[in-house]
Amino acid sequence: MAVDEAMVRGLEYRVQALPTLRLYGWSAPTISIGYLQDAGPFKDAGIPVVRRMTGGRAVLHDAELTYGVAAPSAHRLFAGGIMDAYRVISACIASALNDVGIDAGLSERKSAGGKAANPACFYAPSRYEVLVDGRKLAGSSQRRFKDAFIQHGSILFGLDEGLNSRLFGKDAVEKAAWVRAYKEVDTAAFSEKLISRMAEGFNASFELSALNETEDCLRQSLLECKYSKDEWNLCGSEGTPTIKGI
């Protein structure tokens, strides 16, 4: 989470700000919760909990590929606002799934969820999220700053039904889809397809790189003062620490 935030905040320091794509996984099962979500139901889950800088509901990160796209808000592809960015990015994910033989498409309407809805991200789709057989396979969330935005999300490859049922209830498992329920595809092979589709969709050519010096300093500061702290992860915005150098 610190890298994702450093990636988007670092755009303001770049002379030429271009879209950045990050693909990654998780070293151990972890729950991420939305910026305004109550951490209470997950404090005794027995696995790590981290609060995202983006909104939305809880995700169990386990057998998945996680992506992040950071870009200038004024970029011609994303100048149409939040929903237009969702549409563009989700269409690339759906196309990559089509490439490996999975019939994925985009949801056309916002879910009717409310305050009493299930706390799981994969319980119900929002507009322009990726569906297979009417069930959500990729969940995404977005945050916009003055000059840049980030969208990140999870593309499920497998599902620990027991753990998900314990955390979110059996009905949440029944509403989710995952790649290996349809095709035996590994994340490395799918990543190549996704990079290709993102490059095509963005009309860009991606080059492999690490964080630059400024971004790495931001990452370290965010990690030390925010994402490693219970004040942020479990208490939320009321307990937000001061972030050095931002």
| pLDDT value for 83 | 83
Strand ranges (E), 73-133: 104-106, 130-132
Nearest alpha-carbon partner for 55 in 152, 118, 119, 142: 142
- Decide if pLDDT at 84 tops 50: yes
Per annotation, catalytic residue among 121, 217, 225, 235 = 121
Predicted pLDDT of residue 226: 96
pLDDT category at 74 given cuts 50, 70, 90 is confident
Report the C-alpha gap between 73 and 146 in whole angstroms: 8
| pLDDT tens readout for residues 5-30 | 999 998 877 656 778 999 999 999 99
Mean pLDDT value across the chain: 87
Q: Is the pLDDT of residue 245 over 50?
A: no
How far apart, in whole angstroms, are the C-alpha atoms of residue 169 and residue 104?
A: 25
Q: Which domains does the chain have, with CATH numbers?
A: 2-209 (3.30.930.10)
Tens of pLDDT along 102-156?
999 998 866 544 444 677 776 666 778 899 999 999 989 999 888 889 999 999 9
Full-model pTM: 0.88
Q: Which two tokens stand for residue 214?
A: 């400024």
What is the bridge-based pairing of β-strands 20-24 and 135-144? Answer: unpaired
Annotated active-site residue 235? The verdict is no
